[in-house]
Chains A and B, each alone.
Chain A
Amino acid sequence: MSARSAWGGRLLAAHAWAVYLFLYAPIAILIVFSFNNEKQTAVWKGFTTQWYSALLDDRFIRTPVANSLIVAGASTAVATIVGTLAALGLARYKLIPRPLGQGATRGLLMLPLVIPEIVVGAALLTFFGVIDWELSLWTVIIAHVGFSTSYVAVVVGARLAGFDRTLEEAAADLGAGPLATFVRVKLPLILPGIVAGALLAFTVSIDDYVITSFVAGTGATTLPLYIYSKLKTGVTPEVNAVSTALLLFTVVLILIAQWLLRPRSGATPGGEK
């Protein structure tokens, strides 16, 4: 018996298409309207790129863009190192007797992904207040390191789980000490995972609104904050344009990350013996 009955199958397919349409329609609408030659209503009045040129001329948008890139770059750099090391450490827990703290470390790394942003933002704001640290761009960077580390650790961890241990044994057997084995065998094979994790973390950082809104000092406005303040005062076409631009930028990064994470023929799943 196959699950393909003519009726049921077509119904399911139709439903699936509808859902995908639902998922992408708003985004498509946003993109389309960013080219609409019309300020207020939703009536199509012709194609224009004026909103995008307005963006390029907009002085006030440059600082938020720069800030976003700085924050994302800095926090991702730190998070990639810390997160990769943590994932490597977690993967080695199996080799020591009585894995103390494996659960605790895993839990720690999971916290930033689970705890709502509103809570994290409020906590960090309070924290900086208590230790008397003035809000600035630095506080934003520090705040972003938290969740970025978790994303990197999760992605790299997944790559490590599928890593074939016997490759390390073979390297050792052929004369490579622990450091050489890591550099010549392990690192090249998990590098796509590390880069993908970094790209994902970068994307999340660029997009973040809630946490950033709590801990950004004056002058530390990032792009999402800028967008938010604009759209709170009403829908404007410039907001459509900058949103579309940001959206497309992040989508490109994500697609690259997805490509990097495709299953490779090298690592065998469950490759430990």
Chain B
Amino acid sequence: MDETAIVRIDNVSKHFGEPGAAGGNTFAAVDRVSLDVRRGEFFSLLGPSGCGKTTLLRMIAGLEMPTAGAIRINGAEVTHVPPYRRPVNMVFQQYALFPHLTVAQNVAFGLRYKGVATADYATKVDAALELVRLSGLGRRRPDQLSGGQRQRVALARALVLEPQVLLLDEPLGALDQKLRKEMQVELRGMQRKLDITFIFVTHDQEEALTMSDRLAVMNRGKVEQIGPAPDVFERPRTEFVARFMGAANFFDSQGGDGKFVVRPEKLHLRTAPPADPGWRCVEGRVEDRVYQGINTMWVVAGQRGRYTLYEQNVRPVRGGGPDVGDRVFVCWDQSHAVTIGGTEGE
């Protein structure tokens, strides 16, 4: 057993629906998932809606019970332990702040269950509010706060209890783009400073990449790939992961069976194949060309498929490069190619 694993999920499944006579109409929201989360890491569960990531998170929190499998936190089996007895706390997607309590009362809510003396509430609450940079707002009520402020209160309320693991259910979903990016950086910094394990659920791959040490990509209740962010991004193991991470260029392997994928930014347009033997090329016609500020996106139609490339606009673009309809070569360094459909690991 991995000594550094603080959360261990062992072959956990969650079925919904009524088991009927002929196997019924149950469906598996989570299907035999096993993974470890290491102490002190920022771990993300990434995937499209309905992939089971939130359900899995809720099972770790104790808000849902698995229909099969076991969950261990810090070595202790907690599979059927109610949420109020687990050493984990959750930040809810819609924050779930108590409308009838002030900010300070919200944050202090769980302290009595940790045996903290009433006299110490104020210091702890103030410390938590300072941590999330909301000092001085203790007297306000949730309906007097902005979305971003409410989110911080939810965070403070969980952190004040010093949980071993903090669970975050798409907490940044309701924020606007700019605020989101700021919070991403802030959360990351907070996690490092407090040295708490974070388990973070999101459907935004960029967000997951920005913040996580390791991440797990989920699809239809199963884990497709787990690993450090760079690995998942640059070396996807399945077609789903490749597409989800935005690497939609598939090529058939030369042996005949199997495919490999090359990320769009690793493809280049050439008027002729380069001499370097480590490079491969494919012929095609430019179908579309879109200026995107930092990059220009090219769509090239080849014989076997369509390819998307990004070329950074290093030089001023005006009139540079092939036009729509031109014949070009799409080329890449074969060492950037990743074979798909291998065995899962890590």
Query: What is the interface of chain A, defined by CB distance below 8 A to chain B?
Result: 97-98, 164, 166-167, 169-177, 180, 184-185, 188-189, 264-268
Contact status of A172 and B84, CB under 8 A, knowing A97-B18, A265-B143, A266-B143: yes
State the CA gap A173–B62 with chains docked (Å): 8
State the CA gap A97–B20 with chains docked (Å): 13
**Cβ 8 A contact of B99, one of A174, A184, A189:** A189
**Cβ 8 A contact of A175, one of B61, B94, B113:** B113
Whether B100 and A175, one on each chain, are in contact in the complex, defined by CB atoms closer than 8 angstroms, is no
State the CA gap A176–B106 with chains docked (Å): 13
A contact residues around B83 at 8 Å (CB): 169, 172-173
B324 within 8 A of A: no
B114 within 8 A of A: yes
A contact residues around B143 at 8 Å (CB): 265-266
Contact status of A185 and B98, CB under 8 A, knowing A174-B110, A176-B113: yes
The size class of the interface chain B forms with chain A is 20 to 34
Query: What is the interface of chain B, defined by CB distance below 8 A to chain A?
Result: 18, 61-63, 82-84, 89-90, 92, 94, 96-100, 109-110, 112-114, 142-143, 157-158, 161
B contact residues around A176 at 8 Å (CB): 84, 109-110, 113
The residue on B at minimum CB distance from A165 is B96
* Residue of B62, B89, B96 ringed by the most chain A CB atoms within 10 A: B96
* Residue of A164, A169, A188, A268 ringed by the most chain B CB atoms within 10 A: A169
A contact residues around B112 at 8 Å (CB): 175
Contact status of A173 and B18, CB under 8 A, knowing A266-B143, A267-B99: no
Contact status of A173 and B98, CB under 8 A, knowing A265-B143, A266-B143: no
Whether B84 and A166, one on each chain, are in contact in the complex, defined by CB atoms closer than 8 angstroms, is no
B contact residues around A189 at 8 Å (CB): 99-100
Whether B99 and A264, one on each chain, are in contact in the complex, defined by CB atoms closer than 8 angstroms, is yes
State the CA gap A266–B97 with chains docked (Å): 9
Can you name 10 A-B residue pairings with CB atoms under 8 Å?
A169-B92, A172-B82, A173-B83, A173-B89, A173-B90, A175-B112, A176-B110, A184-B109, A189-B100, A266-B99
Rank and list the top 8 A-B pairs by shortest CB-CB distance, nearest first: A266-B99, A175-B113, A174-B110, A170-B96, A166-B96, A265-B143, A172-B83, A175-B110
The residue on A at minimum CB distance from B82 is A172
The residue on B at minimum CB distance from A172 is B83
A-B contacts besides A173-B84, A174-B157, A184-B109, 20 pairs, CB < 8 Å:
A97-B18, A166-B96, A169-B92, A170-B96, A172-B83, A172-B84, A173-B61, A173-B89, A174-B84, A174-B161, A175-B84, A175-B113, A175-B114, A175-B161, A176-B110, A177-B84, A189-B99, A265-B143, A266-B100, A268-B94
